[in-house]
Amino acid sequence: MRIENYLARISYTDLHQLSLPSLFKLHQFHVYNIPFECLDIHLGIPIELNVESIYKKVVNYFRGGFCYELNTLFNWLLNQLGYEANIISAQIINNHEPGPEYDHMAIWVKLESDWLLDVGYGDLFINPIEIKPDVVQHDGANYFMIKQLENNRYSLLMSATGTNFKERYVFSLSEVAIEKFESQSQLKQTSEDSHFVKNLICTKPTENGRKTIFNDKFLQRNNGERHISTFESESDLVKCLREEFGIDIKKYQQRLEEMFHFSF
């Protein structure tokens, strides 16, 4: 695994220095260039939580991934570059209640202060968020705030306007071994109740908005305007993935046609 190939994958061409501005750029470039996606679940390809497999998929094969993959890989990169980065567990809020432990993976970086990083949520922050309770932070698109729940437990809230905040997940600042996430990763790949089994998703932000594949729809937000188009066939989906996200799954198209559970 080569650091320079990973940096090229995220279009990071700066001469890297161990600094807060560099950490911000790494996070920005990662979310702009590597999409959140759960295609393998619909292609019947098992997702393995080890750095070598994820590196090959994301860097060599120009794919994306979901939280366990992308944050595992980014955490590895940060440590290779000299940052004090740790994997942490988070619990996604659904119906005002947190999910199970290891429901989500995020990253805690200690650099001048404590920072929350997350390149594997889907639609979240572009820049790292300082773990500084009750301070509103803006990433250029949305507003975020951290609430302290207990000594080592926090809540992340998000708002489009800076006034009405919605809780996204709760997290603890305790390093967690990647193996701890294996059970939840398997459930998200196989359970009929899994959001990722029910829905095919591929998304990444752009400088002016976001583009997203959600089942048989392609959604684009650009400077506040929204456009939605519907795929008429699996071929349209494959073409959109290639042209809009740089993901080539043409060799899996027949498998997708056999497994795809949406009516075109």
- Residue closest to 155 by CA, chosen among 147, 163, 144, 164: 147
Residue 96 has pLDDT above 70, yes or no: yes
**End of a domain among 178, 213, 243?**
178
Co-location of 79 and 188 in the same domain:
no
Residue 147 lies in a domain: yes
pTM: 0.94
Question: Does a structural domain hold residue 106?
Answer: yes
149 in the same domain as 71: yes
Residue span of the structural domain in which 215 resides: 181-259
**Residues 34 and 140 placed together within one structural domain of the fold:** yes
- The DSSP 8-state label assigned to residue 47 in this structure reads P
Report the CATH number that the domain containing residue 253 is assigned in CATH. Answer: 3.30.2140.10
Say yes or no: 197 and 142 in one domain.
no
Helices 67-80 and 20-33: crossing angle in degrees, nearest 10, is 150
Region of residue 221 (left: phi > 0; alpha: psi -120 to 50; beta: else): beta
Residue 262: pLDDT over 80: no
In the listed set 138, 154, 178, which residue is the last one of a domain according to the structure? 178
Domain boundary among 178, 213, 230: 178
Q: Is residue 264 part of a domain?
A: no
Q: In angstroms, what CA-CA distances link 124 with 80, 86, 129?
A: 25, 19, 11
Judgement on whether residues 87 and 204 belong to the same structural domain of the protein: no
Same domain? For 53 and 97 the reply is: yes
* CA distance linking residue 10 with residue 33, whole number of Å: 5
CATH value at residue 161:
3.30.2140.20
- What pLDDT digit, counting tens, does each position of 36-81 carry? 999 999 999 999 999 999 999 999 999 999 999 999 999 999 999 9
157 and 241 co-located in one domain: no
Q: DSSP assignment of 3-33, as one string? A: HHHHHHHTT--S---SSHHHHHHHHHHHHHH
Average pLDDT over residues 221-243: 92
| % of the chain residues with pLDDT over 70 | 96
d(CA 89, CA 108): 10
173 lies in the same domain as 195:
no
Question: pLDDT by residue (tens digit) across 179-212?
Answer: 999 999 999 999 999 999 999 999 999 989 999 9
Percent of the chain exceeding pLDDT 90 equals 85
Q: Do both 69 and 97 map to the same domain? A: yes
* 194 shares a domain with 173: no
Torsion of Cα atoms, 26 then 27 then 28 then 30, to 10°: 80
- Count of domains for the chain: 2
- CA–CA separation, 57 and 70 (whole Å): 10
Q: Please tell me whether residues 90 and 114 are part of one structural domain.
A: yes
Are residues 69 and 47 part of one domain?
Answer: yes
